[in-house]
Amino acid sequence: MTLRLESTALRLLHRVEFAHVRFVGGILCVLAAVVVLALQVPHRFEWAKHTYDANAWRSPARRLLHTGETYLIPTDFQEAALTYVPRGSTFAVLPPPSPEIAAKGYGIPYLTLIDLPFWLQFLLLPSRMVTPSKAEYVLCFACDTDPWSPLTTWIWKNDSGELIGKVRRR
């Protein structure tokens, strides 16, 4: 009797088509996605509300500068760039001589050096970033100032090796 029941069960198992298995698998995937969404959506809304509340006390300008701070670009340097580089002018970003000097001498991480030109290009719009030889203003981020000092009037600097200068006509 047990042999006969097993063979009947095997016959039923052989009758199951691949399409049925795919259908059941698809239903299970959809159910899993619904469960994940049901569990995650409330947390995402809480996170978004927390982020909104955390930024609500900042002015729009402070929120903008905070983005630069996440790249470890000092706030005073960003504020000075917004203050001293006129809208519509041209500027160049002068990096440190090497990433090693930036890290050891100034504590500037390598990723900050990568992000810096792109962030300043965005921050200073509609001003345009150009090559240093064509720039009206230079933003020195721990750069070597010796080649630029005869050509530049430094209009802002801090104690961390960051300077902003207006390039005199050559």
Question: For the segment 39-48, what is each residue's pLDDT rounded down to a tens digit?
Answer: 888 888 888 8
Cα torsion 118, 66, 90, 110 to 10°: value is -40
Q: 91 by DSSP, 3-state: which?
A: strand
pTM flag (> 0.85): no
What pLDDT is recorded for position 18? 65
54 or 160: which leads in pLDDT: 160
Average per-residue pLDDT for the chain: 87
Q: What is the mean pLDDT of residues 7-33?
A: 75
Sorted by sequence, the CB contacts under 8 Å of residue 78 that are 6+ apart come out as 65, 68, 69, 123
